[in-house]
Chain A
């Protein structure tokens, strides 16, 4: 099976982020990066699917041409080859342009299954997976927490506010992965050594113009100063009174 894990390099989740002097973009100085949390699940599911069905796992990313450390790490965790779609403007690339570039590459690669994270933990848009599937005319399951593939078909479960949905679909398909689907493996020394010899290709991303533009980027409005109402259970009556008469939420 021709399997692709689409991953994105994002600022680490523990990062304090600052707005750049232009008031429209992130201050990149001092930022460090990681593969988006849910994309780690996508990579793991891609590798597991290969382990049970055979085939090859391509790690696909749209990102900076310098950002190869995180992609090498994906090869150490079981990816067979990497394709970087180089985009100097990757930090401000919108979901539509990203989806179109990924869709074009997935078509070139002749993929049967593409795994992505449920959402990238930078723009929190959760849009690229279903957009890619729609551009390609493929099936798509979002937020998958279980997956079975057999005979060119698949079955997946996702959790909604109403309960647990089962979705049956045909291949090719895009699956976006949610926590609970698997526990990603760690890389080991053997994997890291093997990764050095795996094919690693970079080509310029096929890009359309962004439709989204940022008119302003700002830190969240500061919250009012907090008030400690007291210590221990004795403070409960004060809390009730405050929530009722001051905050007016009771």
Chain B
């Protein structure tokens, strides 16, 4: 099989977890794995699973120029595959790279298989109402990997690093980034997601979910469409068919009845806990564990219990 090139995002000098997962997905196919990133060559060794690394120099502020450099790297290294994590940057860049290579793209994959000499992708359609197994007849197999699905490789990255340069003339450039106020995890990245719905009563009660999230330390707060439409929470937190699709290790649905659009966005979570007043709510059909009752009474007790668990650890 030809090598697979993986776009790796570097934050604070190290690869993002999501990119390590994409590298792990590439490595698991048995193909030679080439990591490409913008930044210092010293990051190569942390690109676990890669046998080869390329540091891209030049101005990386233009997504179109960067995509063009990534497509060139795919061609110059005679790669048969291109992968990126399905992050904001990955979802923005991968279709551009695919178009440069005149290849179809499979976004947000939850599985990658090798059959014979060919790669096959598994990915949800209609936000997970059906699961599609897909093959591509393109010369280069292009895909993005859903976060929290693939396991990073335990092999360290290469000792050496090649260099290439972004040279295309930019058509668009990122001119500023207003960093988030806190180092809050995104719902798609967090290993624990705590989502609230109408059953929270009002906007202020989301403080109880924030508290539970803080007790975990590695959690993000999510929201149902109803509370986003009501203006209680930002759209960036919405889980479901017109929001984000998440697959954390642990998902709490609190005061969420479980409309089909919401279930579509979270049903690939490893463990689902539902807390709802209504024992007949559809959310209990997909949850692993449920507590029937008033979320506003249960949450403070649950937060204390999680704090105690974390204090022990």
Contact = CB atoms under 8 A, between A and B. Distances in A.
A163 B105 contact: no
Interface in A127-151: 127-131, 133-135, 137-143
Contacts of B96: 130-131, 133-134, 140
A230 interface: yes
Given A14-B260, A161-B186, A228-B290, A168 B103 contact: no
B286 A140 contact: no
Nearest to A38: B242
Contact of B290 (A173, A224, A226): A226
Interface residues of B, number: 93
A134 B64 contact: yes
Interface in B17-46: none
A160 interface: yes
Interface in B124-143: 124-138
Interface residues of A, number: 85
B19 to A, nearest CB: 12
Q: Mostly helix, strand, loop or mixed at chain B's interface? A: mixed
B242 A237 contact: no
A215 B133 contact: yes
A138 B235 CA distance: 28
B76 interface: no
Contact of B291 (A122, A128, A161, A235): A235
Given A220-B124, A220-B268, A233-B297, A125 B285 contact: no
A226 B291 contact: no
A217 B132 contact: yes
A124 B125 contact: yes
Contacts of B89: 160
A240 to B, nearest CB: 5
B64 A159 contact: no
A17 B130 CA distance: 8
Interface in A86-111: 94-96, 99
A122 B127 CA distance: 7
Interface string B56-97: 000000011001000000000000000000011101111110
A229 B290 contact: yes
Contacts of A189: none
A107 B180 CA distance: 39
Nearest to B304: A236
A188 interface: no
A113 to B, nearest CB: 13
B159 interface: no
15 contacts: A13-B242, A37-B242, A96-B104, A125-B105, A125-B107, A130-B99, A133-B96, A137-B171, A143-B92, A161-B186, A179-B235, A220-B130, A235-B293, A239-B273, A242-B289
The 6 closest A-B pairs by CB, nearest first: A169-B172, A134-B99, A160-B88, A139-B171, A232-B293, A127-B95
